Amino acid sequence: MATLTGPNVSVKESAPSVLLCAVMDHLTCYLRTGRPCSAEIALLLVDRLVADPGADAGLARRCAELCEAILDAQGQAAAHGGAARI
């Protein structure tokens, strides 16, 4: 069992569904609070999920799209000085 680490995150990896739940949790936090840290953690977890050989191809594609949406939203938030809605 691997441990995911990054800024303010330490998540035990056991299955793609656990990673997906963590992504949704951090993304929800970002959307509610605008905290860039939450979006960054979600991105770290999305990258791990996409790289997981146990994740199916459709899930990996959706996660890549989610990653792009988060990056776009972060750019919009920075340009407007606040949180952007994805």
- As a three-state string, the secondary structure of the chain is CCEEEECCEEEECCCHHHHHHHHHHHHHHHHHHCCHHHHHHHHHHHHHHHHCCCCCHHHHHHHHHHHHHHHHHHHHHHHHCCCCCC
Residue 3 lies in a domain: no
Residue 1 lies in a domain: no
Strand partners, 6: 9
**What is residue 71's predicted lDDT score, i.e. its pLDDT?**
79
Residue 75 lies in a domain: yes
Number of domains in the chain: 1
Distance CA 51, CA 49 (A): 5
**What is residue 73's predicted lDDT score, i.e. its pLDDT?**
79
Residue 2 lies in a domain: no
Residue 51 lies in a domain: yes
Domain that holds residue 33: 12-80
Residue 45 lies in a domain: yes
Residue 72 lies in a domain: yes
**What is residue 2's predicted lDDT score, i.e. its pLDDT?**
47
Per-residue pLDDT of the chain (86 residues; tens, 9 = 90+): 445 555 555 455 457 888 888 988 998 998 899 888 888 898 888 888 888 888 887 887 887 788 788 778 777 766 656 554 44
Residue 7 lies in a domain: no
Q: Which of 73, 80, 79, 3 lies closest to 38, judged by CA? A: 73
